[in-house]
A and B are shown apart, each in its own frame.
Chain A
Amino acid sequence: MALFARSDARTVLILGWAALVCVLAACQRGDESVAPSFRGLDLAGAPYGRDFRLTDADGRERTLADFKGKAVLLYFGFTQCPDVCPTALIRAAEVRKLLGAEGDKLQVIFITVDPARDTPEVIKAYTAAFDPSFIGLYGDAKRTRETADEFKVYYKQVPTGSSYTMDHSALSYVFDPQGRLRLAMRHEQTATDYAHDIRQVLAGK
């Protein structure tokens, strides 16, 4: 009888431990799957940035669905830009290198906010100078404005000298392989920050 009681106590103890371990495991799982630690701005579920319909430098119409299965890094800029745009695209090329074997699972897309000057020929040569895998997209003035609005991207022509420059949002957007907007990365962040977040998005987090 005494033996029986002791066995009961042991069972309770074991069950207690098992429950505790389960709780801890669940907590940990929750940490990883519910709240991944992104360095960029988490935009999961944002009611904007759903899609675009633009033309690539070869004249094909492109939407986000074309890139299913890959993460997408999307940047709005213009080629007459000597500073932030090259810096952003140099970083994007570096991010692909940092991702190693997974670099091929990242599609970098450049959308021009200056379609009047950025002809398909210029866009193609420009994006290829950074990485031949990069894709440049453009639309007419109306489509460009609609696309920027959909992505909450600001741009504006500003006259300078006999020419003009463009003010524009310098965020980079990250989409997961299902084509869902997930993150906005800031211009001040490093290639390491970008790669850190994109690796998680590629891992399904």
Chain B
Amino acid sequence: MKRFALTLAALAVAAAAHAQVTVKDPWVRATVPQQKATGAFMQLTAAQDVKLVAGSSPVAGVVEIHEMVMDNNVMKMREVPGGLPLSAGKTVDLKPGGYHVMLMDLKGQVKDGEVVPVSLVFEGKDGKKQTVEVKAPARPLNAAAKTDPSQGGHAGMKH
């Protein structure tokens, strides 16, 4: 039995090593009751050139990949047309002031500390799709953009 578990663990490591996209330090901004939208933030690194084309989450009716831009002091938030491109080996930071995974039509309040599952769909140049499951802990509504070491996560440990 123990041997079987070890084999499973080894298989899991092997699978992770082959994963095309690594997700680091994911988090979701917590909401207040009745608030219908929020954002998920994380760092994405792909082994090959891929595009983040879609997402889904049990907490949200609609998930989109958004970009925030400031245009002459006006804030605009738009779905990234055609998906968010990730170049091989280059980390793309989804953070306030840039990209985020927009969670809309929320089914309930996202409470601080709750772990929010988000599935992200990446498309390779060959058109093959890969889904990566992300577990993003909710940080307080007033959490700043930078990594908060008290919230755990590997990125936080390094600081």
Contact = CB atoms under 8 A, between A and B. Distances in A.
A89 interface: yes
Please indicate which of the listed interface residues A80, A117, A119 has the most CB atoms of chain B within 10 Å of its own CB. A80
A165 B74 CA distance: 13
The 7 A-B pairs with the shortest beta carbon distances in the complex, nearest first, are: A82-B39, A125-B32, A80-B37, A161-B62, A129-B141, A170-B75, A84-B75
23 contacts: A79-B35, A80-B36, A80-B37, A82-B37, A82-B38, A83-B68, A84-B97, A122-B35, A125-B33, A125-B34, A125-B35, A126-B141, A130-B142, A160-B79, A161-B64, A161-B104, A162-B62, A162-B104, A163-B62, A167-B74, A168-B74, A168-B75, A187-B73
Contacts of B29: 82, 86
Interface in B139-156: 140-145
Contact of A80 (B33, B35, B70): B35
B61 interface: yes
Contacts of B105: 161-163
A87 B68 CA distance: 12
A174 to B, nearest CB: 15
A154 interface: yes
Contacts of B16: none
Contacts of A89: 142
Nearest to A78: B37
Interface string A54-98: 000000000000000000000000011111101101100100000
Nearest to A163: B104
Contacts of A87: 96-97, 144-145
Interface residues of B, number: 35
A39 interface: no
Interface of A: 79-84, 86-87, 89-90, 93, 117, 119, 121-122, 125-126, 129-130, 154, 158, 160-163, 165, 167-171, 186-188
Given A87-B97, A163-B62, A171-B73, A121 B38 contact: no
Given A87-B144, A117-B36, A163-B37, 16 more contacts: A80-B35, A80-B37, A83-B39, A84-B68, A84-B96, A89-B142, A119-B34, A121-B33, A122-B33, A125-B33, A125-B34, A125-B35, A130-B142, A160-B77, A161-B104, A162-B62
B100 A82 contact: yes
A170 B70 contact: yes
Given A82-B39, A119-B34, A170 B141 contact: no
B136 to A, nearest CB: 13
